[in-house]
A and B are shown apart, each in its own frame.
Chain A
Amino acid sequence: SAVISQKPSRDICQRGTSLTIQCQVDSQVTMMFWYRQQPGQSLTLIATANQGSEATYESGFVIDKFPISRPNLTFSTLTVSNMSPEDSSIYLCSVSRREFSYNEQFFGPGTRLTVL
């Protein structure tokens, strides 16, 4: 497994502002992902964070709204830009040691975001 930490654990933000969430892993991993879990709902993949190149976004998510960085194999950030109340969610970082689809992912504790 992997030990994953996220900062902040929670935040309350004003509409129109931006928040950057950090994800730190205790060892090098191949794959890093960002998911969103809206209240009472399942997880939806936002993007795959690629080291040294632009993130790969899923349908419905764009770089201007959710810029992602991954400077190395243990760290990534997700920014939620120009926030609105609809962005209130739990944002989860996950990692996988290899890129194959049969490898389990390990999740961070999540960042609970409330936008007023």
Chain B
Amino acid sequence: AQSVAQPEDQVNVAEGNPLTVKCTYSVSGNPYLFWYVQYPNRGLQFLLKYITGDNLVKGSYGFEAEFNKSQTSFHLKKPSALVSDSALYFCAAGGRRALTFGSGTRLQVQP
């Protein structure tokens, strides 16, 4: 069975600083990996995905993620955080039927 781990419940970063939200995965076969963001009282929004190819994936709102096969990681990054990036972030792996989600990481960007 596949699994996704997000080791940090919360990440705090100052506005303008780079941010990283960590994700590791365990899947058999080729990994299909996704990042979603959930703002308060709203559904999940798709940010980006990795299927194959370039290990650095660029997505919405200036976010990017780096796929590292040897470390089985897919960390979400942004060069300069905004207060409006404060939200709940989920890493997920594509499976036979649907997505397997990590536990989520709350990102708090302080002004």
**Interface, chain A (partner B; CB < 8 A):** 1, 4, 31, 33, 35, 41-45, 48, 56, 92, 94, 101-110, 112
Contact = CB atoms under 8 A, between A and B. Distances in A.
10 contacts: A1-B46, A41-B103, A92-B43, A94-B44, A102-B32, A102-B49, A104-B34, A105-B99, A109-B42, A112-B41
Interface stretch (B63-71, B77-85, B89-97): B89-97
B74 interface: no
B43 A110 contact: yes
B87 to A, nearest CB: 14
A75 to B, nearest CB: 17
A101 B49 contact: no
Given A42-B101, A94-B99, 18 more contacts: A31-B98, A33-B97, A33-B98, A35-B98, A42-B90, A42-B103, A56-B97, A92-B43, A94-B44, A102-B49, A104-B49, A105-B98, A105-B99, A106-B46, A107-B43, A107-B44, A108-B43, A112-B41
Q: Could you tell me the dominant secondary structure of chain B's interface residues?
A: loop
A89 to B, nearest CB: 14
Counting contact residues on chain B (CB < 8 A from A), the size range is: 20 to 34
A109 B43 contact: yes
Contact of B94 (A102, A106, A112): A102
Contacts of B101: 42-44
Contacts of B45: 107
A55 to B, nearest CB: 11
B28 to A, nearest CB: 12
Nearest to A43: B101
Contacts of A56: 97
Pairs A-B, 9 closest by C-beta atoms: A101-B94, A102-B32, A107-B44, A107-B43, A109-B43, A43-B101, A102-B51, A42-B101, A45-B98
